[in-house]
Amino acid sequence: MNLTKNTRRLAAALAVPVLLFTAAACGSDDSGSSDSKVKVEGKFGDKPDISAPKDAKAGDKVSTKTLVEGKGATVEKGAFVRLDYVGQAMKADKPLVSSWMSPTGGAEKGPRRQAVAQTGQPGRELPTKVLDEVVGKKAGSRIEVEGTAKALVGEELNPQAGVSPEDGLVWVIDIVGTQKVDPKSEAKGEQAKPDSGMPEVKAAPQKAAEITIPKDEKAPTDLKQQLLIKGDGAEVKAGDGLIAQYTGVKWEDGKKFDSSWDHGGATAFQIGTGSVVQGWDKGLVGKHVGDRVELVIPPKLAYEGQSQSGLDKNTLVFVVDIVGKV
C-alpha cells in the first residue's frame, strides 16, 4: 500500500510502502499528553493489538509513552535504527501499515521486512515526527506514539489515504536495535585488482567511486561480484539493517546514476528481505562489516519491469562499502 504523493528513492532500494506522507519536519518532545484511552496489548517482539473506544480522540500534539522499557543501547540523534512498527487510525480496527504484515525475504520462515532508518533524517516507512520519538529510548523498548494526522504528518498528508487531518493516529514501535556510525565512514585497506571482465574501481577518500567499464566486454547475464577489500567485522545476515556507502553506474555507458556520497554519506537499508534489489540481497548477505564489494547486476536482478525507475533495461555496477549494521 503506497499512500504517499511521491517518495525519494535510493538507487539501490525497491519501492517501499510508506504511510500517508512524503516528508516531514522536525520531531517533537515527549511533553504531549493524550486522553484517547487507546489500549495496546502484546509484549515486545510480538504483533501488538491496538484498540480504542469509538469516541477516542487524539490530542493536537505528539504524545509518547514507553510501554516496555528496554535494556539496550540508547538511541542517539543521528543514529541508525531497526524497528518493528504498526500504524493505525484510532477509528479503525486494523492497521494501515505494519511490519508484522509485510512479506519476508522469500523464505517461509525468513526475517520479515522492518524499518531501517537514521534518526534526524526524513523517514521512509514512518513519518519523521514519529521516527524522532525513538531518540533517547533504549533498544528493546516498545513505545506508543499518538496524535492527530495533522500533528504527526502535517502538510504532507496524502488525501488519498482516507485519513483526515483531525483523525487520530497511533503508532506502536519496537526498537529492535540501534547503531551510531560516522556518515563519512568507508572501507579501509589495500584494494584488490579487478578480476577478468570486472569493471575497474578507483575509490578516492570521501568521494564517489570512479568505475570504468571494460571495453569490448558484454554485460553479464548473471550476478557477478568481487570482494575488493576484506573487512574483519561482523557477518551480514538476512534481516540486518546494513549501513553502507555506495556508488552505482550503468554498464551501458559508464555513467553514474547515484551515490551515497551525493546524499550526505552512509545510508541504511534492510538486507535479505526484498527491501532492495535482488542483486544486493544475493551479493551482500554473508559479507562482513568493513568489506568493499563490487557487484555487477543484470536487469533481471535489478529493475527489470519497473519502467518508472529509468533503469529497467540497464545492467548496474555498484561499489558498496559495508560500514556497519544494526
Q: Tens of pLDDT along 274-313? A: 999 999 999 999 999 999 999 999 999 999 999 988 999 9
Is the distance from CB of 295 to CB of 223 less than 8 angstroms? yes
pLDDT reported for residue 56: 86
DSSP string, 261-282: GGGTS-EEEE-SSSSB-HHHHH
Mean pLDDT in residue range 195-214: 97
Is the distance from CB of 111 to CB of 272 less than 8 angstroms? yes
Q: How many CB atoms lie within 10 A of CB 93?
A: 9
Give the CA-trace dihedral at 193, 227, 103, 174, to 10 degrees: -120
Taken in order 233, 238, 239, 241, the sign of the CA dihedral is positive
For the cut 70, the answer to whether the pLDDT of residue 2 exceeds it is no
pLDDT reported for residue 296: 98
Please give the Cα distance from 23 to 5 (Å, whole number): 10
Q: What is the pLDDT of residues 32-70, one digit of tens each?
A: 556 668 999 999 999 999 999 888 888 889 999 999 999
For the cut 60, the answer to whether the pLDDT of residue 20 exceeds it is no
Is the distance from CB of 66 to CB of 137 less than 8 angstroms? yes
Q: How confident is the model at residue 163 (pLDDT cuts 50, 70, 90)?
A: confident
Q: Give the global pTM.
A: 0.87
**How deeply is 233 buried, as exposed, middle or buried, from its count of CB atoms within 10 A (0-12, 13-18, 19+)?**
middle
DSSP string, 27-47: ---S--------EEE--TTSP
Is the distance from CB of 79 to CB of 119 less than 8 angstroms? yes
Please give the Cα distance from 57 to 62 (Å, whole number): 13
Q: For 114-149, what is the HEC assignment?
A: CEEEECCCCCCCCCHHHHHHHCCCECCCEEEEEEEH
For the cut 90, the answer to whether the pLDDT of residue 29 exceeds it is no
One-letter amino acid identity for 246? Y
